[in-house]
Amino acid sequence: MLEALLAYAHFVTILAVVVFLTSETALCRPEWMNAAVVHRLVRIDRIYLVSALALLATGLARTFWGVKGMGWYWAQPLLHLKVTLFVVIAIMSIKPTLLFLRWRRILDETGALPPESEVRQARGWLMIQAHLLVLVPLAAALLARGIWTR
């Protein structure tokens, strides 16, 4: 039962990360930018952060309390690939987060919307994250089926 609950929690947090990254990417378009979108991006980005932290926590919980045990999981190159991708995505998420926060501050102070070039830049960072994120479940599926495991 514990294994099923750990897997369920991990799947739910994966879906949350995908939903909120996708939401940010969809909203972050020059043609849709307005004051409400700037504030919404900041809120969604916070939820994305919380979802990512929950994803990390549930993933660690699976390695610590899962049936296969910590020793097995941490000996697997595919787990290291998943963690590396997660860290790369997390680092890449810093740039859009800083842009969103700056946009909100400037909007609140001056009423100015972000320049189109910055919106495109933020969207580019989000798109790269989304494309890298697609590789994580591939590594997970291979790992779960014992492909390329030790």
CA distance 112 to 78: 45
Q: What is the pLDDT of residue 118?
A: 98
* Mean pLDDT of all residues belonging to the chain: 97
> Which residue, among 6, 150, 9, 144, has the nearest Cα to 82 in the 3D structure?
144
Taking the model in full, what pTM does it have?
0.94
Residue (of 129, 146, 147, 134) closest to 28 by Cα position: 129
Those residues with Cβ within 8 angstroms of residue 81's Cβ, 6 or more apart along the chain or in another chain = 135, 139
Tokens of 71: 């020793």
Residue 117, pLDDT score: 98
Q: What is the predicted pLDDT for the residue at 34?
A: 98
| Backbone angle region of 69, left / alpha / beta, with phi > 0 → left and psi within -120 to 50 → alpha | left
Q: What is the pLDDT of residue 133?
A: 97
Query: Residue ranges per domain, the chain?
Result: 2-144
For the segment 10-49, what is each residue's pLDDT rounded down to a tens digit?
A: 999 999 999 999 999 999 999 999 999 999 999 999 999 9
**Mean per-residue pLDDT for 52-77?**
96
